[in-house]
Amino acid sequence: EPEVTQTPSHQVTQMGQEVILRCVPISNHLYFYWYRQILGQKVEFLVSFYNNEISEKSEIFDDQFSVERPDGSNFTLKIRSTKLEDSAMYFCASSDRGQIGELFFGEGSRLTVL
């Protein structure tokens, strides 16, 4: 069964460092997303991406965050200068037909900022 894969599974970083989280969506999918879940809290929408541009972003997705699809297969989330409160599980997701197709989540990347 095709799946969304994410790397790294866990990253520990110092506050102020840049972090890049990588995702390989399902190959024929066109819509890509990042969500995050702070420990013990709900899953929150960060950003959606379609046709090589951001479709929508939440209030959480400020100037410290950026997304990119550099090579047609990877979909990355960059956090420029990490803060303690960025510690969370970050989930990548993709769908083939936007809201009509099923949304598939990756297993997540756990980010710990010290």
Partner 1 sequence: RKEVEQDPGPFNVPEGATVAFNCTYSNSASQSFFWYRQDCRKEPKLLMSVYSSGNEDGRFTAQLNRASQYISLLIRDSKLSDSATYLCVVNRGGGGSNYKLTFGKGTLLTVNP
46 to 85: interface string for partner 1, x by CB under 8 A? --x-x----xx-----------------------------
Query: Which residue from 43, 73, 81, 83 is in contact with partner 1, where contact means CB under 8 A?
Result: 43
Residue 67 tokens, joined: 């997304």
Query: Which residue from 1, 14, 28, 42 is in contact with partner 1, where contact means CB under 8 A?
Result: 42
Residue 12 tokens, joined: 């520990």
* CA–CA distance, 53 with 20 (Å, rounded to integer): 18
Size of the site for partner 1 (CB under 8 A): 27
To which residue do tokens 């969304």 refer? 4
Instruction: Give the residue with the Cβ less far from partner 1, 8 or 16.
Output: 8
Beta pairing class for 43-50 and 31-37 = antiparallel
Q: What stretch of H or E contains 65?
A: strand 65-68
82 C-beta neighbours (distance < 10 Å), count: 21
Contact call for residue 90 and partner 1 (CB under 8 A): no
Residue type, 2: P
Min separation Cβ 104 and partner 1, Å: 8
Residue ranges binding partner 1 (CB under 8 A)? 31, 33, 35, 41-45, 48, 50, 55-56, 89, 91, 93, 95, 97-100, 102-103, 105-108, 110
